[in-house]
Amino acid sequence: MAEVDAGGATSDEQVTPEEADRIKRSYLLRRYWKASLGFWRDHSARRAWLLTSGLFAIVLLTLAAQYGINLWNRTFFDALEKKDAAAALLQAAIFLPLIAANVTLSVTNVFGRMTLQRSWREWLNAHVVDYWLAKGRYFQLNLIGGDHKNPEYRLAEDLRLSTDAPVDFAYGILTALLSAATFIVVLWNIGGALSFEFQGRTVTIPGFLVFAAVIYAVLASGSMVLIGRRFVDVAEKKNQTEAEYRYVLTRVRENGESIALLGGEEEERAGIDRSFSAVIRRWRDLCLQHMRTTVVSQLTAQIAPVMPVLLCAPKYLDGSMSLGQVMQAASAFVIVQSAFSWIVDNYPRFADWTASARRLSSLLVSLDTLDAAEQSGVGYISQQGTGDAALRLKDLSVTLDDGTVVINEAEVSIQPGEKVLIVGESGTGKSSLVRALAGLWPWGGGEIQFAYGAKLLLLPQRAYIPLGNLRRATAYPNSADEIETEAIVEALKLVGLEQFVDRLADDVNWDQTLSGGEKQRVAFARMLIHKPSIVVMDEATSALDPASQDMLMKLIAERLPDTTIVSVAHRRELEAFRERKLVMEAHPEGARLARDVYLAKRRRKRGWKWSRRGKTKPKARKAA
């Protein structure tokens, strides 16, 4: 038997592509239910079961009201047939409370279903977002292969659809089963047996209306399944192209300044048109599927109300059924047929739900892969503590997720307060080393050791500015409420942003308002506020002019003299503010140190060693 791995692939046995695809899809649905059903098992279980029980009670009450209206049909039309005005008037009066009860239950049903959907989505969203954000996985997904593109669309749209539809499906299926069970009895009792002559013999069909309803529903449902068999695949591809189109538009918005400066509107428009053309093609395919299924659904909807009347006509004409019984049978037939044909009415939405659930599960499977690799520790860099250095790299190897070496085994010891500059040509693994220090690049081997209790802060080249006011942007990653206003104002003034201190509460798009250099100044303001013990900078002053860079470096040296700083940069001017310079060079077996230059003397003990041990390429556990 073929086994399914974390990505839904098969092993131990050769299978056809169709069989492998079926196994993968089945695995993804199982992964979805494993995550989603936690809503009824986790701390939210009490609320979940309360809402579920309430919805079940609504189903029973709605069925009772429906049965009452069915009985009313018989009594009212019998009164009309007998021309009994008093009885007809009485039934007309009874009809009003029946309708009021039915409307009330329908409104309660909407409230119960949507409350359950909202609560389930809230729980699942928290679960998946926590899983996605934990340990930098949201970043690591960009570095591995797998079906997890556009995670923001999966978290927003696919997650919503995957929790909305099952509640409606469960409610619909339960209602269909109970309605079928109840009104089959009505059809059996009202319709009785149908007798007719065939080739000189009398043929009697007991409960003929029940058999007619079942046969009719089987034909309708079978036709829908046959005609709409490609619906799931088409819906899934449509959702993927929609997500890709949104991503293209988002990139244009986020990079609007660069595009405008380069005059790239025509090229961007061409890219947008290509992406949108794919969306239109998928919608055309979906339209064709809807057209086919609409033929079946409309035929069944038009025939269903008429068929029971035609079937009951012989018995009415021979006087064995009253008009009220015919109308009651017709009403019951429609209800039974609707119950049996539930799949006909919901197949398109079921296909859409399946596509969304699988897309969400694909994201979870990729996160599972990262989590499993981290738990095993094989091919992963270990983060440890140390008591005799601010930062130490012990037998550190940085690799790609496929095992390709980026940085070979290294041993580096940096003492508290030391200022170290790392330089090298592009492609020598400097940024990969920074990511490894941050814990965002897990692949490789060896250890990264930080001083016990060390507070690490990273300053990337592109300073991140979150949504919200400037106060929040400056206090980030802490909450703005945790930092005193005076501290924020002082930090902004020190880094040369005094012109913004009166706009701390302004809630504008600061990411677009601030220039690249101003964003980097905000990052330095954060450093002054948080006072980290270790700072790792990755081209953190690239957008600043030399005079501004010198001012900020002197400021940090004065305000944070005991902070250990490791910076990656190309500018030679930074050597004036560093005590050591490590020069990296590319090498077939992984980047290595070419020179270790002491730029200034310090009394603190230093230790550094970079080694390439043997020629065996360290292998990393594949993350996808």
How do residues 520-536 score in pLDDT, each as one tens digit?
Answer: 999 999 999 999 999 99
Going from the C-alpha of 559 to that of each of 418, 483, 495, the distances in angstroms are 15, 18, 12
Pairing state of beta strands 201-205 and 382-386?
unpaired
Task: Say what the pLDDT of residue 202 is.
Answer: 73
Q: Which residue has the tokens 């979906």?
A: 286
Total count of residues recorded for the chain: 624
**Residues in CB range of 499: below 8 A, 6 or more apart:** none
Q: Which two tokens stand for residue 251?
A: 């990139």
Range 480-488, long-range pairs (CB < 8 A, 24+ positions): 483/529, 487/529, 488/525, 488/529
pTM: 0.70
Distance (Å) of CA 357 to CA 33, 115, 147, 209, 502: 9, 20, 13, 39, 48
**Looking at residue 503, what is its pLDDT?**
93
Residue whose C-alpha is closest to residue 412's, from 611, 614, 618, 607: 607
Q: What is the pLDDT of residue 610?
A: 44
Residue 573's pLDDT is: 83
Q: How far apart are CA 63 and CA 65, in angstroms?
A: 5
574 neighbors 599 (Cβ within 8 angstroms): no
**pLDDT on residue 496:** 94
Per DSSP, the three-state class of 73 is helix
Peptide bond into 477 cis (omega under 30): yes
Q: What are 2's two structure tokens?
A: 């073929």
> Given its phi and psi angles, is residue 403 left (phi above 0), alpha (psi -120 to 50 degrees) or beta?
left
Q: Which DSSP string do the residues of 328-380 spell out, in sequence order?
A: HHHHHHHHHHHHHTHHHHHHHHHHHHHHHHHHHHHHHHHHHHHHHHHHH-TTB
The C-alpha atoms of residue 560 and residue 581 are separated, in whole angstroms, by 20
Residue 588 structure tokens: 């077939």
Q: Tell me what pLDDT residue 471 has.
A: 93
DSSP state of 157: I
Question: Within 10 Å of residue 495's Cβ, how many Cβ atoms?
Answer: 24
What is the reported pLDDT for 491?
94
Name residues whose C-beta falls within 8 Å of residue 481's C-beta, 6 or more positions apart in sequence: none
Tokens of 574: 């930074």
In this structure, how many other beta carbons lie within 10 angstroms of the beta carbon of residue 528? 20
Helix (H, G, I), strand (E, B), or coil: what is residue 408?
A: strand
What is d(CA 62, CA 176) in angstroms, rounded to the nearest whole number?
12
Position 1 scores a pLDDT of 40
Q: Return phi, psi of residue 106, to 5°.
A: -65, -40
Structure tokens, 370: 């990262």
User: Nearest CA to 314 among 191, 216, 214?
Assistant: 191
**HSE-up (13 A, CA, CB side) for residue 452:** 3
How far apart CA 81 and CA 78 sit, in angstroms, is 5
Domains delineated in the chain:
13-375 (1.20.1560.10), 382-610 (3.40.50.300)
Please tell me the predicted confidence (pLDDT) of residue 519: 93
| For the chain, the helix, strand and coil percentages under 3-state DSSP, each to the nearest 5 | 60, 15, 25
Element (H, E) at 580: strand 580-585
Q: How far apart are CA 522 and CA 463, in angstroms?
A: 8
Cβ atoms of 163 and 117 closer than 8 Å: yes
* 8-state DSSP, 585: E
The token duo for 226 is: 């046959």
Give residue-wise pLDDT tens across range 595-617. 767 776 543 444 444 444 333 33
Stretches in the chain below the pLDDT threshold 70 = 1-14, 196, 257, 343-344, 377-378, 593-594, 596, 600-624
> What's the Rg (C-alpha) of the chain?
35
